């Protein structure tokens, strides 16, 4: 892009310089002018079918669609003059002719572009007196439901399936005012990335069956986060209502996931709302697990761990911060850290470079490897008689349980009680990743922050906080009060993370030194 | 030590009580003959309420007895007292309906915004003022209670003159 000549033009009285070939719509965005549009989406090919982005270009014979018109030297563009507004008003009136106006029962209400633009510049009433066309609701397979009456035929969904997912399932069936989105014979929206058509749909025509009637968009609290469904680390927005996660949506990040996320990640949120969480620290006594307060539990954990070789069995979904403190504890005792591989079927999104639902289904596998954890199918194989084990939010298979019998002490640092864990001398409850702050490293070495989205249950504390306390109790000094300070310690002691900090990462993330090399995909 | 109070001599017609007493007695006699009643004999007699009276709520129903509410969520959003609890659900036909719809009448400030905002003309404030319960919980009206109310509902505006012109 660097050698493309710049073009100077004026949009709404503001001078703009953009590379030649940019559309007027994109150029307007750079100076903070939003040109209303439906069919245009930066992640899809331009179609120019909705006619909503018509703008008035001086000396042009007629209004030009801003999404499909390239900028030209000296152009003067008016977005909000009488002529353009009148044209858009007409477009909106036509779009609303067959629209049922069932906003009270439509899931899109509150985040609907048709609603927004109609309020902004549409007509207050309709002049259409004839009965509206009606088509029944259709199940598109997968997680997607189609309500044809609400559809404005922007064809974003058709273009996504054809040009990005490379799996043409949708088409525009019928002609004229009978036109609607249809499926090709015998096809269903079962592509691993098909759920994106719900986000792409500017109105309430394509809906998620999972989210249907669950909440209104204006009641949701939104938090920037990172998906933990696989090692791709797609940027997401976590939407919660009354401390319960109801929906995950993609957040755009050109370096990782463009605008999309896969259905696996999208629907992988129920565990975040689990009710059977560990809520208080406890110690194994004569009368079984005894609930104690934090100081007693940490002192108890230090007592059973002290002087032994510590083997850490840590889930590779834990944050870099928690992994780092665990690796310090293990290293100080002469032990090691291990984690089990979790794999699945790889499902790429062909239209976007290097984007896939990865076979490695752990969120921080790369981070774990960088911090010295070994990842294998039998993570406890290095356990020797008399070793102590810290189980950090890791699941326990029958094989693990048999090996754990050799351990002299087991400290469980976990969000839930793993099924099959034979015993735990001390239990320390931690927050899951939505209840704390931290960072994850994706398979290409991109370190990304996630923010706290919900409140922790009971006495559970952030994982890095509990582990730092445990390290202190074991005599490994760590003066940390925030996740950012833990990350600063990590950055200063690991050359891969040198120069990074929570502030530097921001919400787009930064690659570790030597990223992309040695990635396991 | 005299402080020099000045005593004004007034004519006897002004200072006599006889005249005022007779006038008061006359008033009493007039009310005996032609009484002007102020007390309403509640509960046998009731004053008519304004058509715009805003009292405890009522949920209107469709012909088949179901609440008209589609759980759009506008009333809990607009409610300034935060007294409406709504959990949306879906019935067998795939229609939206309220799984839980509760109004805490103690919290309610009877502003009538819920009725004004309702796109389905389902929730209404009522022309009604007699409420009593044995416990505070009784004033959290659930959907069943709201649909069972029979009192007339508030007319926010005159249908013949909606803009109040």
Number of other residues whose CB lies within 10 A of the CB of residue A514: 11
Its pTM stands at 0.86
What is the mean predicted confidence (pLDDT) over A384-412?
93
Give the one of B72, B77, B89 whose C-beta lies nearest to A105's C-beta.
Answer: B72
Chain segment A274-328, per-residue pLDDT in tens: 999 999 999 998 888 999 999 999 999 999 999 999 999 999 999 999 999 999 9
Please list the residues that pair with A410 across neighbouring strands: A389
Q: Say whether B90 and A104 touch across the interface (CB within 8 A).
A: no
Which of A145, A216, A220, A244 best tests the B interface by mutation, with the highest count of B CBs <10 A? A216
Taking contacts as CB-CB distances below 8 angstroms, the residues of chain A near B74 are 104
Indicate the burial class of B126 (C-beta count within 10 angstroms; 0-12, 13-18, 19 or more): buried
Give the one of B74, B77, B89 whose C-beta lies nearest to A213's C-beta.
Answer: B89
Taking contacts as CB-CB distances below 8 angstroms, the residues of chain A near B71 are 105, 213
Q: How many Å lie between the alpha carbon of B108 and the closest alpha carbon of chain A?
A: 20
What per-residue confidence (pLDDT) applies to B165? 73
A109 contact B CB<8A: yes
Taking contacts as CB-CB distances below 8 angstroms, the residues of chain B near A219 are 73, 77
Q: Say whether A214 and B73 touch across the interface (CB within 8 A).
A: no
Q: How many Å lie between the alpha carbon of B88 and the closest alpha carbon of chain A?
A: 6
What per-residue confidence (pLDDT) applies to B37? 82
* A219 touches A241 (CB < 8 A): yes
Q: How many Å lie between the alpha carbon of B74 and the closest alpha carbon of chain A?
A: 8
Tell me whether strands A244-250 and A347-348 are parallel, antiparallel or unpaired.
Answer: unpaired
Q: How many Å lie between the alpha carbon of A197 and the closest alpha carbon of chain B?
A: 21
Residue A271 carries which DSSP code?
G
Tell me whether strands A310-314 and A388-392 are parallel, antiparallel or unpaired.
Answer: parallel
Q: Say whether B71 and A213 touch across the interface (CB within 8 A).
A: yes
What is the mean predicted confidence (pLDDT) over A67-74?
94
Q: Say whether B70 and A104 touch across the interface (CB within 8 A).
A: yes
Structure-token match 């009310």, residue found: B31
Q: How many CB pairs under 8 A join A and B?
A: 30
* A92 touches A53 (CB < 8 A): no
Chain segment A195-244, per-residue pLDDT in tens: 999 999 999 999 999 999 889 999 999 999 999 999 999 999 999 998 99
Interface of B with A (CB under 8 A): 70-74, 77, 88-90, 94-96, 119-120
| Nearest of A280, A311, A298, A308 to residue A465 by alpha carbon | A298
Taking contacts as CB-CB distances below 8 angstroms, the residues of chain A near B95 are 105
What per-residue confidence (pLDDT) applies to B1? 60
Q: Say whether A215 and B120 touch across the interface (CB within 8 A).
A: no
Q: Say whether B72 and A103 touch across the interface (CB within 8 A).
A: yes
Q: Say whether B72 and A216 touch across the interface (CB within 8 A).
A: yes
- Low-confidence stretches of chain B (pLDDT beneath 70): 1
Rounded Cα distance, A481 and A479, in Å:
7
* Model confidence at A519: pLDDT above 50: no
Taking contacts as CB-CB distances below 8 angstroms, the residues of chain B near A103 are 72, 119
Q: How many Å lie between the alpha carbon of B147 and the closest alpha carbon of chain A?
A: 20
Tell me the pLDDT of chain A averaged across its residues: 93
Rounded Cα distance, A509 and A487, in Å:
13
Q: Kindly list the distances between the CA atom of residue A298 and the CA atoms of A73, A278, A431, A454, A465, in Å, as whole numbers in the listed order.
A: 69, 16, 16, 25, 12
Taking contacts as CB-CB distances below 8 angstroms, the residues of chain A near B77 are 216, 218-219
Q: Say whether A213 and B70 touch across the interface (CB within 8 A).
A: no
Q: Say whether A213 and B72 touch across the interface (CB within 8 A).
A: no
Residue A455, SS3 per DSSP? coil
What per-residue confidence (pLDDT) applies to B157? 79
Q: What is the ipTM of this complex?
A: 0.75
What per-residue confidence (pLDDT) applies to A23? 95
What's the token pair of residue A50? 């909705």
Band of pLDDT at residue A521, cut at 50, 70 and 90: very low
Band of pLDDT at residue A515, cut at 50, 70 and 90: low
* Model confidence at A518: pLDDT above 60: no
* Model confidence at A174: pLDDT above 60: yes
Q: Say whether B119 and A212 touch across the interface (CB within 8 A).
A: no
Indicate the burial class of A405 (C-beta count within 10 angstroms; 0-12, 13-18, 19 or more): exposed
* A71 touches A17 (CB < 8 A): no
Band of pLDDT at residue A520, cut at 50, 70 and 90: very low
Q: Say whether B73 and A216 touch across the interface (CB within 8 A).
A: yes
- Can you say whether the dihedral through the CA atoms of B148, B149, B150, B153 is positive or negative? negative
Q: Say whether B90 and A213 touch across the interface (CB within 8 A).
A: yes
**Closest chain B residue to A106, measured at CA:** B72
| Nearest of B71, B51, B69 to residue B126 by alpha carbon | B51
Give the one of B73, B89, B90 whose C-beta lies nearest to A219's C-beta.
Answer: B73
């Amino acid at each position: 892009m660097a050698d493309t000549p710049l073009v100077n033009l004026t949009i709404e009285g503001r001078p703009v310089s953009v590379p030649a070939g940019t559309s007027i719509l994109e150029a307007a965005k750079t100076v903070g002018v939003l040109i209303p549009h439906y069919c245009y989406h930066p992640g899809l090919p331009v179609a120019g079918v909705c006619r909503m982005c018509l703008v008035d270009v001086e000396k042009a014979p007629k209004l030009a669609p801003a999404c499909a018109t390239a900028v030209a030297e000296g152009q003067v563009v008016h977005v909000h003059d009488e002529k353009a507004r009148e044209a858009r008003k007409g477009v909106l009136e036509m779009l609303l002719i067959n629209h049922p106006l069932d906003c009270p029962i439509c899931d899109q209400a509150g985040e609907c572009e048709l609603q927004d633009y109609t309020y902004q510049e549409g007509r207050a009433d309709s002049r259409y007196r004839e009965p509206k066309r009606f088509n029944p609701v259709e199940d598109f397979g997968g997680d997607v439901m189609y309500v044809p009456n609400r559809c404005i035929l922007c064809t974003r969904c058709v273009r996504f399936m054809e040009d990005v997912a490379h799996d043409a399932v949708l088409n525009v069936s019928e002609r004229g005012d009978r036109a609607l989105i249809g499926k090709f014979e015998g096809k269903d929206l079962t592509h691993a990335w098909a759920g994106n058509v719900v986000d792409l749909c500017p109105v309430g025509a394509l809906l998620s069956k999972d989210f249907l009637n669950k909440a209104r968009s204006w009641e949701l609290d939104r938090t920037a986060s990172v998906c933990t469904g696989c090692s791709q680390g797609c940027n997401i927005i976590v939407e919660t209502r009354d401390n319960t996660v109801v929906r995950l949506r993609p957040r755009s990040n050109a370096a990782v996931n463009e605008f999309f996320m896969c259905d696996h990640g999208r629907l992988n949120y129920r565990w975040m709302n689990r009710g059977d969480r560990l809520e208080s620290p406890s110690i194994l006594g004569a009368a079984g697990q005894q609930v104690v307060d934090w100081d007693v539990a940490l002192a108890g954990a230090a007592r059973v761990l002290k002087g032994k070789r510590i083997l850490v069995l840590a889930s590779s979904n834990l944050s870099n911060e928690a992994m780092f403190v665990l690796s310090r504890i293990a290293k100080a005792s002469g032990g090691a850290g291990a984690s089990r591989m979790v794999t699945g079927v790889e499902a790429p999104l062909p239209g976007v470079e290097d984007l896939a639902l990865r076979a490695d289904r752990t969120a921080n596998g790369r981070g774990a490897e960088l911090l010295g954890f070994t990842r294998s199918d039998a993570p406890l194989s290095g356990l020797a008689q008399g070793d102590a084990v810290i189980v950090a939010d890791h699941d326990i298979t029958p094989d693990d349980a048999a090996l754990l019998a050799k351990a002299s002490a087991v400290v469980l640092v976990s969000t839930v009680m793993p099924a099959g864990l034979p015993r735990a001398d001390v239990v320390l409850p931690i927050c899951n990743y939505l209840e704390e702050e931290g960072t994850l490293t994706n398979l290409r070495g991109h370190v990304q922050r996630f923010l706290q989205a919900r409140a922790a249950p009971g006495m559970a504390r952030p994982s890095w906080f509990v582990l730092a306390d445990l390290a202190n109790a074991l005599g490994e000094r760590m003066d940390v009060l925030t996740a950012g300070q833990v990350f600063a310690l990590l950055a200063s002691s690991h050359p891969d993370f040198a120069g990074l900090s929570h502030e530097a990462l921001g919400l787009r993330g930064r690659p570790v030194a030597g990223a992309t090399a040695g990635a396991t995909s | 030590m005299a402080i020099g109070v000045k005593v004004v001599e007034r004519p006897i017609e002004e200072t006599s009580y006889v005249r005022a007493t007779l006038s008061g007695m006359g008033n009493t006699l007039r009310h005996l003959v032609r009484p002007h009643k102020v007390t309403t004999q509640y509960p046998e007699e009731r004053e008519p309420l304004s058509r715009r009276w805003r009292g405890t709520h009522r949920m209107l129903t469709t012909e088949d007895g179901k609440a008209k509410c589609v759980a759009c969520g506008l009333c809990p959003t607009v409610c300034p007292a935060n007294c409406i609890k709504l959990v949306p659900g879906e019935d067998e036909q795939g229609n939206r309906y309220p799984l839980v719809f509760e109004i805490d009448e103690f919290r309610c400030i009877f502003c009538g915004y819920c009725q004004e905002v309702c796109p389905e003309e389902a929730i209404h404030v009522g022309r009604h003022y007699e409420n009593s319960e044995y416990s505070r919980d009784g004033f959290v009206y659930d959907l069943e209670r709201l649909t069972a109310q029979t009192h007339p509902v508030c007319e926010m505006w005159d249908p013949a003159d909606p803009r109040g012109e």
